[in-house]
């Protein structure tokens, strides 16, 4: 199997004969990254992956102390933060890395959307990516409840109540998600199982598919670059691009460490179902634009409850996002598709504006 | 036999294929069905209590204030209006189920989650809530407050 000219050690030869190192090496050396004015955006997929690895590592560490029940969850996190050496650091990195991962994921998704990288033959890569976005939001939503504090309790109450607005199957889905009619310890245990077992299992499969497809098809060159005839230049993935990737990852790690050290994640007050929802209650920032939209919707729109209209709207928006590669016929033909670029930019602006309002408008107005 | 090998053999293969296929489906169902049923939580006994005696004395409830009490396994809110009346409602916001609170500065009931406002009769007056809060009947018996669901 070994075909490369350079002499190798005996261990390398031994391994090569058994697992085919030379083939892997050949594959790695073959991978090329296009170089053009938009190459910067190629880094964000790898960045998301790196932060996901941080999540897996810190998540496994948190499992060793966390206790998933309404009676013990809050106390176990309190113990972790106050007593366990570096417990505050591990938890803060987990929380911050989750936020940065979702941010990197959004940047990655919008860059793919605006550079039309979803064009044939990469439709399935896009579908799996949208699926991974959904899973990441699911991780965020289920993980938020686990410390069992006041904010997370009411955020979960609202968030799960939203599934109840789904036509026909709503009530059933609500019970399935909550493990009962109300948000209780049963919900906490269920979210724990979803967060640490079900979502990781699905993510592993979908991420495997996504990465396989990225390797299979290589990086997409944006149609605007192709039309200008600038698509020719490339750089090897190993080592040139990978080393730059690693610089990005180390920078992210430095930012994470700084955030965790200077702005450690707070725990807040223990959840109590018999207190009013606290003033200024808000979800994680990546749900904020939806939360704020729900605040502005009137009680009834055309005779339907406002929240139902809003939730159906978000559902349809998600489906439209998933189906972009099939809807955008012009990009599929390699032509410019201004409509989809404009829609993408409008979506970004809408999310930014509503998120901004969510953090600045007085909660009592 | 030799002349008809094709026929019966093809049928036999078809039968075996059919058996294998149906067994595979039956096997899959026998695995999926218990798993699906397992995921659906059993129905917990809803609290049937039609009334509750509060651990609060009437004299302790200040004018223009409200507090949360337990009605079965759901929260209720007891309000003393600025005029001095005692009123009680379900504290579960009709919008998305948050627990409401009394705003002394506005002299009415308010939900922090999505800025929903209810007046002192529980009517939704502003914000996204689509319906009024369920009203309860409040009876003061000596030093006890008894809250019950309406008839």
Contact assignment for B100 to A277 by CB distance below 8 Å? yes
CA B106 to chain centre: 28
Lowest mean pLDDT among A263-272, A344-353, B45-54, B123-132: B45-54
CATH fold for the domain made of B51-149: Rieske Iron-sulfur Protein (2.102.10)
- Give CA–CA dist A11/A34, Å, rounded: 35
Q: Which residue numbers in chain B have pLDDT < 70? A: 1-9, 45-48, 151
What's the pLDDT tens digit per position in A188-236?
999 999 999 999 999 999 999 999 999 999 999 888 888 887 767 899 9
Tell me the average pLDDT across A26-41.
Answer: 90
What is the percentage of chain A residues whose pLDDT exceeds 70?
97
b/e burial code for range A327-351 (CB count within 10 A of at least 16 → b): ebeebbeeeebeebbebbeebeeeb
Distance from CA of A176 to the nearest CA of B (A): 6
Total count of residues recorded for chain A: 365
Residue B86 and residue B58 in contact, taking contact as beta carbons nearer than 8 Å: yes
pLDDT at residue B42, rounded to an integer: 84
DSSP A240: I
What pTM did the predictor assign? Answer: 0.86
pLDDT at residue B151, rounded to an integer: 54
Instruction: Label residue A57 by pLDDT band (50, 70, 90).
Output: very high
| Distance in Å from the first CA to the final CA of chain B | 84
How far CA A1 is from CA of A8, A17, A20, A238, in Å, comes to 13, 7, 7, 21
Query: What is the SS3 assignment for B138?
Result: strand
Residue A50 and residue A103 in contact, taking contact as beta carbons nearer than 8 Å: no
Distance from CA of A156 to the nearest CA of B (A): 10
Contact assignment for A277 to B113 by CB distance below 8 Å? yes
Within chain A, what is the greatest distance between any pair of CA atoms? 78
What's the pLDDT tens digit per position in A154-184?
889 888 888 887 878 888 899 999 998 889 9
What is the percentage of chain A residues whose pLDDT exceeds 90?
64
- Give CA–CA dist A338/A116, Å, rounded: 11
Q: Would you say residue A89 has pLDDT above 90?
A: yes
Contacts of B112 in chain A (CB under 8 A): 276-281, 363
Q: Would you say residue A88 has pLDDT above 80?
A: yes
Tell me the average pLDDT across A223-251.
Answer: 88
Contacts of A277 in chain B (CB under 8 A): 93, 98-101, 111-113
Tell me the average pLDDT across A294-317.
Answer: 83
β-strand partners of B77: B68, B89
DSSP B43: P
- Say which residue, A38 or A361, is predicted with more confidence: A38
pLDDT at residue A85, rounded to an integer: 94
pLDDT at residue A211, rounded to an integer: 96
Query: What is the SS3 assignment for B124?
Result: strand
- Give CA–CA dist B118/B129, Å, rounded: 9
Domain definitions of chain A by residue range: 1-30, 36-279
pLDDT at residue A50, rounded to an integer: 97
Distance from CA of B103 to the nearest CA of A (A): 10
Instruction: Label residue A336 by pLDDT band (50, 70, 90).
Output: confident
pLDDT at residue A326, rounded to an integer: 93
> Which among B150, B146, B105 is positioned nearest to B132, based on CA atoms?
B150
Q: Would you say residue A67 has pLDDT above 70?
A: yes
For chain A, say whether B128 makes contact (Cβ under 8 Å).
Answer: yes
Contacts of B100 in chain A (CB under 8 A): 276-277
Tell me the average pLDDT across A283-294.
Answer: 89
Q: What is the DSSP secondary-structure string of A211-232?
A: HHHHHHH-PPPPHHHHHTT-TT
C-alpha angle A271-A274-A277 in degrees, rounded to nearest 5 = 65
- Give CA–CA dist A238/A27, Å, rounded: 10
Q: What torsion do the CA atoms of A147, A148, A151, A157 make, to the nearest 10 degrees? A: 130
CB atoms within 10 A of CB B125: 15
CATH fold for the domain made of A36-279: Cytochrome Bc1 Complex; Chain C (1.20.810)
Contacts of A299 in chain B (CB under 8 A): 124, 127-130
pLDDT at residue B3, rounded to an integer: 52
Tell me the average pLDDT across A69-77.
Answer: 95
């Amino acid at each position: 199997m070994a075909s490369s000219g350079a002499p190798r050690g005996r261990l390398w030869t031994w391994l090569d004969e058994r697992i085919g190192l030379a083939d892997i090496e050949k594959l790695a050396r073959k991978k090329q990254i296009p170089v053009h004015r938009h190459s910067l955006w190629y880094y964000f997929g790898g960045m998301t992956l790196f932060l996901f690895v941080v999540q897996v590592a810190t998540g496994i560490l948190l499992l060793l102390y966390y206790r998933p029940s309404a009676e013990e969850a809050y106390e176990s996190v309190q113990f972790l933060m106050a007593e366990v050496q570096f417990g505050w650091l591990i938890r803060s990195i987990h929380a911050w890395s989750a936020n940065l991962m979702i941010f990197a994921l959004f940047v990655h998704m919008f860059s793919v959307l605006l550079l039309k990288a979803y064009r044939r033959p990469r439709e399935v890569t896009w579908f799996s990516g949208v699926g991974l976005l959904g899973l990441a939001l699911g991780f965020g939503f289920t993980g938020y409840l686990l410390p069992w504090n006041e904010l997370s309790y009411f955020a979960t109450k609202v968030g799960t109540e939203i599934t109840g607005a789904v036509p026909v199957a709503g009530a059933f889905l609500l019970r399935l998600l909550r493990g009962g009619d109300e948000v209780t310890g049963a919900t906490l245990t269920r979210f724990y199982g979803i967060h640490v077992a079900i979502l990781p299992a699905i993510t592993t499969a979908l991420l495997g598919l996504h990465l396989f497809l990225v390797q299979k098809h290589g990086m997409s060159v944006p149609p605007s670059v192709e039309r200008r005839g600038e698509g020719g230049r490339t750089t090897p993935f190993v080592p040139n691009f990978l080393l730059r990737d690693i610089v990005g990852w180390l920078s992210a790690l430095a930012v994470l460490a700084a955030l965790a050290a200077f702005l450690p994640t707070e725990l807040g007050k223990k959840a109590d179902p018999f207190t009013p929802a606290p003033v200024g209650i808000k979800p994680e920032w990546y749900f904020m634009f939806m939360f704020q939209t729900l605040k502005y919707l009137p009680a009834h729109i055309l005779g339907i409850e406002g929240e139902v209209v809003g939730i159906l709207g978000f559902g349809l928006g998600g489906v439209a996002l998933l189906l972009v590669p099939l809807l955008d016929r012009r990009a599929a033909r390699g032509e410019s598709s201004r409509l989809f670029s404009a829609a993408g930019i409008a979506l970004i602006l809408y999310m930014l504006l509503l998120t901004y309002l969510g953090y600045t408008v007085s909660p009592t107005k | 036999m030799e002349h008809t090998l094709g026929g019966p053999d093809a049928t036999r293969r078809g039968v075996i294929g059919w058996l294998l296929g149906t067994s595979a489906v039956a096997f899959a169902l026998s695995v999926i069905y218990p798993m699906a049923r397992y995921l659906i939580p059993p129905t917990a006994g809803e609290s049937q209590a039609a009334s509750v005696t509060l651990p609060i004395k009437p004299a302790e409830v200040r004018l223009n204030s409200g507090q949360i009490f337990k009605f079965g396994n759901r929260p209720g809110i007891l309000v003393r209006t600025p005029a001095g009346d005692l009123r009680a409602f379900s504290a579960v916001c009709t919008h998305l189920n948050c627990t409401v609170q009394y705003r002394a500065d506005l002299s009415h009931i308010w939900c922090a989650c999505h800025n929903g406002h209810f007046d002192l009769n529980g009517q939704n007056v502003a914000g996204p809530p689509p319906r009024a809060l369920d009203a309860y009947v409040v009876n003061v018996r000596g030093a006890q407050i008894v809250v019950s669901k309406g008839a």
